[in-house]
Amino acid sequence: MTPHNHAIKGDYADAVLLPGDPLRAKWIAETFLDEAKLVNSVRNCLGYTGTWKGKRVSVQATGMGQPSLSIYVHELINTYGLKTLIRVGTCGGLNARVKVRDLILAQAASTDSAIVRDRFGPYNFAPIADFGLLRAAAEKAEAAGMRYHAGNMLSSDIFYHADGFAGYDKLPDHGVIGVEMEAAALYTLAARFGVKALTICTMTDCLITHEEIDANERQTSLKEMVTLALDVAVE
């Protein structure tokens, strides 16, 4: 038990999917998992454990943003002993070659967050995905004919920028292809505690072309992302 989680050790599988939205955790459990059991509901940040293709796997909501994700991830690793953590969610697009509904596999995660700077002094630590998980996700996406891009993701602490916002400045010119708000903290904690992490996002609104996914397409695209994440998680 922790201040944010009433599960007991063993309630979670070794691998977990991490959506930000608690209702998306519920949707994943109810739609994809067999024998899904609610293991956490503190603050309504719902967590479930069930099976996917006969193998045990969990899903736990993290809330939006790096501070919230960091609480859940720190506890999942250090209190519950989880070894594989895969964030699933939505992101914005920062490159026109990424079309809405495409998947982005965050190979690395750049950030404006103090949470990643907190102990590196003059060094800019590079938060990266676990190569094995990234390779498995790319191979499975390829085999399934999914449209995906592996690249550098921006994990920003800001959703609404102040006036004079310069479109993330030079980042898109340096290969940053998407923006969300959690991956960098996930990768930094995974590196700190020696576990595996990956982020798979569905691009839902392009900040370059201003194309957006429409509501009913949203769920279909999310199914592709969740199926891929579950296959990687249980491999």
Ligand X SMILES: Nc1nc(Cl)c2ncn([C@@H]3O[C@H](CO)[C@@H](O)[C@H]3O)c2n1
The per-residue DSSP string of 53-81 comes to: TTEEEEEE---SSHHHHHHHHHHHHHTT-
Question: For residues 179 and 225, which CB has a smaller minimum distance to ligand X in the complex?
Answer: 179
Q: What is the phi/psi pair of residue 159, to 5°?
A: -100, -45
Under rule CB under 6 A, residue 172 binds ligand X: no
Which residue's Cβ lies closest to ligand X?
92
Candidate list 7, 57, 105, 181; residue touching ligand X; CB under 6 A: 181
Quote the least distance from Cβ 103 to ligand X, whole Å: 13
Number of helices followed by number of strands (H, E) in the chain? 6, 9
Give whichever of 14 and 205 is closer to ligand X, judged by the CB atom: 205
Pairing of strands 55-60, 15-18: parallel
Query: If you ran DSSP here, which 8-state letter would residue 173 be given?
Result: G
Which tokens sit at 94?
Answer: 């920062």
Residues 35-94 that bind ligand X (CB under 6 A): 64, 89-92
Give how far the C-alpha of residue 162 lies from the chain's centroid of Cα atoms, to the nearest Å. Answer: 26
Instruction: Decide whether 123 or 160 has the Cβ nearer to ligand X.
Output: 160
Name which position in 8, 43, 132, 159 contacts ligand X (CB under 6 A).
Answer: 159
Could you tell me which residues are beta bridge partners of residue 50? 57
Please select the residue that binds ligand X; options are 20, 47, 127, 172, rule is CB under 6 A.
Answer: 20
**Site of interaction with ligand X (CB under 6 A):** 20, 64, 89-92, 156, 159, 179-182, 204-205, 207
